[in-house]
Amino acid sequence: MIRKSLGELAALVGGEVVGDPAIEVSGAADIADACEGDIVFAESPKHLTHALKSAAVAVIARPEALNSHKPLIRTANPRLAFAKVLGALAPSSERPLGIHPTASVGSNLQSGDGLSVGSNAFIGDDVSLGSDVWIHPLVYIGNNVRIGSGCVLHPSVSILDNVTIGDNVIIHAGAVVGSDGFGYTLAGTEHFKIPQVGTVVIGDDVEIGANVTIDRARTGKTVIGRGTKIDNLVHIAHNVALGRHCIITGQVGFAGSTRVGDYCVVAAQSGIADHLKIGHQVTIGAKSGVMRDIPDGAKVLGIPAVPDQQAKRQIIAAQHLPELLRRMRELEKQVEQLQAKVNG
């Protein structure tokens, strides 16, 4: 267990201590999980009230938080401070340096310092790895793959031939990068496979969730922009280009050749059709089906996806539909009676 004083943690996050800076913190937890010795964070007065009632020894709070019976670290961004404190208090996994003797390594491996290759991992020929790369057991890396520095590949990840990965990329267990794109053309009565000879290029600081699949391009490249984060079980088809700093949540799918701008958020289980152009800072609501281009800054929702506000009006209206049908029948009856009276 790592212990740090409140003063050390405040210095780490650039915050101000209210109370005794010598108090010892031995863990960081969400309020619901807090035990003795833990520090928690509170972004709102309501959360602060909960935090003060919890078993936590101290609270990370906003600058305006008042003095309390628990010591505080006051800072402009409690969530970010909490993330940093979590990292500082977490025991770091011990990383066994070197290449495990049961790993298979091809010819011409180039690598920087601090390499870890776990047992039964496979590395093909002509692979280049930066410094401080951690390849867990049972990972597969094909031929002619380039991986930058500081990357972590979790167990059973597969990186197929010719893929390029930037620095500080984290790839979770079971993810596949560089599988063939899904492309066929009918030849008589059979589907003829279009060879997928392109590749995948992953930018720096990308994180890829467990069992995600990212297909290689037919020709050219599938691209994941710098800083983009991808949740579990997402499917990214061939020749897709995701921009920088996007957030792609669980089970989303992108069809082939679609281009997405920077700072987009795509919520869970959405699907984006092929060959679309999605702008920058676009938000796509959960379970949407995007069939058209989306301009910069738009928020869309629904199947097919339409502007957010319109979708919400449609949803509310749809809930009135059975009633609307009844009102329509009633009105038709009344009009008929009126007609009888007026015309008769």
Q: Which of residues 22-81 bind a second copy (CB under 8 A)?
A: 27-30, 32-33, 77, 79-80
For the chain, how many residues are written?
344
How many residues in the shown chain lie near a second copy by CB under 8 A?
116
- SS3 string, 15-65, reads CEEECCCCCEECEECCHHHCCCCEEEECCCHHHHHHHHHCCCCEEEECCCC
Closest distance of CB 171 from a second copy, Å: 10
By CB under 8 A, tell whether 154 contacts a second copy. yes
Closest distance of CB 7 from a second copy, Å: 21
What is the 8-class DSSP label of residue 257?
T
Binding span for a second copy by CB under 8 A among 56-64, 65-73, 86-94, 275-283: 86-94
By CB under 8 A, tell whether 328 contacts a second copy. yes
For the chain, what is the largest distance between any 2 Cα atoms, rounded to a whole number of angstroms? 100
Binding span for a second copy by CB under 8 A among 45-53, 54-62, 65-73, 116-124: 116-124
Catalytic residue selected from 238, 245, 275, 320: 238
Q: Which is nearer to a second copy, 217 or 282 (CB)?
A: 217
Q: In a 3-state reduction of DSSP, which class is residue 88?
A: helix
Rounded Cα distance between 239 and 217, Å, is 5
Of the candidates 132, 197, 199, 121, the residue with the CA atom closest to the CA atom of residue 165: 199
235 is catalytic: no
**Please, is 9 exposed, middle or buried when counting C-beta atoms within 10 Å of its C-beta (0-12, 13-18, 19+)?**
buried
Cα 113 from chain centroid (whole Å): 29
By CB under 8 A, tell whether 172 contacts a second copy. yes
By CB under 8 A, tell whether 253 contacts a second copy. yes
Rounded Cα distance between 21 and 3, Å, is 13
Rounded Cα distance between 40 and 62, Å, is 12
By CB under 8 A, tell whether 315 contacts a second copy. yes
Closest distance of CB 26 from a second copy, Å: 13
By CB under 8 A, tell whether 339 contacts a second copy. yes
Of the candidates 2, 4, 11, 17, the residue with the CA atom closest to the CA atom of residue 61: 17
By CB under 8 A, tell whether 187 contacts a second copy. yes
Binding span for a second copy by CB under 8 A among 18-26, 51-59, 107-115, 132-140: 132-140
Closest distance of CB 268 from a second copy, Å: 5
Among 60, 70, 134, 140, binds a second copy (CB under 8 A): 140
The 259-288 site mask, x for binding a second copy (CB under 8 A), equals: ---------xx-x-x------------xx-
Of the candidates 125, 116, 40, the residue with the CA atom closest to the CA atom of residue 81: 40
**Residue 39 CB contacts under 8 Å (≥ 6 apart), including other chains:** 6, 9, 25, 27, 28, 29, 56, 57, 58, 59, 60, 73, 82, 85
Binding span for a second copy by CB under 8 A among 54-62, 65-73, 152-160, 275-283: 152-160
Closest distance of CB 335 from a second copy, Å: 5
By CB under 8 A, tell whether 229 contacts a second copy. yes
Closest distance of CB 315 from a second copy, Å: 7
Contact 215, 182 (CB under 8 A): yes
Where in the sequence numbering do the catalytic residues fall? 238
